[in-house]
Amino acid sequence: MRILIADDHEVVRRGLKLILQDEFGRVKLGEARTGREVIDQVRTKEWDLVLLDISLPYRSGLDALTEIKQLRPQVPVLILSASPETEYAVRTIRQGAAGYINKQYASDELLVAIKKVLAGGTYVSPAIAEKLASSLRADSIQALHERLSDREFQIMRMIALGKSVKQIAAELALSEKTVGTYLLRIKGKTGLTSHVEITRYAIRNRLVD
């Protein structure tokens, strides 16, 4: 079995390796610290599963997920993240992830998720299953942030976390002008007119920790 662990924190990667080795024995484990490293590893090697964090430097986990599914559509990707489950789970599953589990869950639940995904299933918590079901209803009301593209949603969260346009541009390897364009789209789609309103909305809807 070959599992790629993509997380920018060494202590998390080390903990995951111990959990996986204890459960599966002679499992081959790979590591990636950035979004770019994830793509390189997926492009050059065969994997049975990718454990992917959303918050990766030099390329977000959302971007990495999209490219992984283009490069290796058959490889299951389980999102393991500290980011809010109520928003990212639905978004990533629609993008092709095989499941989403929050880092606060115990190792036993993590192993349940991994085994289900490896068996070809999809892992979601009961709360997310309910959210997915309600989103399919014809009369369901779409929240403002659900109108945003993945990149717009990512930038919205970064604004809410107090980052400037310059900082966001540097982290995402975009020009400040491009980030400004995304910000205009966010405001246009949501009706939120300032960084303060965006921050209040994100906090109220639990889009940031």
Q: Among residues 148, 124, 183, 150, which one has the least CA distance to residue 60?
A: 150
Strands (E) located in 37-187: 49-52, 77-81, 99-102
pTM recorded for the entire structure: 0.74
Q: Which CATH number fits domain 144-204: 3.40.50.300, 1.10.10.10, 1.10.3720.10, 1.20.1740.10?
A: 1.10.10.10
The residues of the chain that CATH labels 1.10.10.10 are 144-204
Report how far Cα 146 is from the mean position of its chain's Cα atoms.
15
Sequence-distant contacts of 9-13: CB under 8 A, at least 24 apart: 12/53, 12/103
CATH of domain 2-135: 3.40.50.2300
Please report which confidence band the pLDDT of residue 73 belongs to, taking 50, 70 and 90 as the band edges. Answer: very high
> pLDDT tens digits, residue range 127-164?
777 766 666 554 555 678 888 888 898 899 899 999 99
pLDDT tens-digit map of 87-142:
678 888 888 999 999 888 878 989 999 999 999 999 987 777 776 666 655 455 56
* Residues recorded for the chain: 209
Helix (H) or strand (E) holding 87: helix 85-94
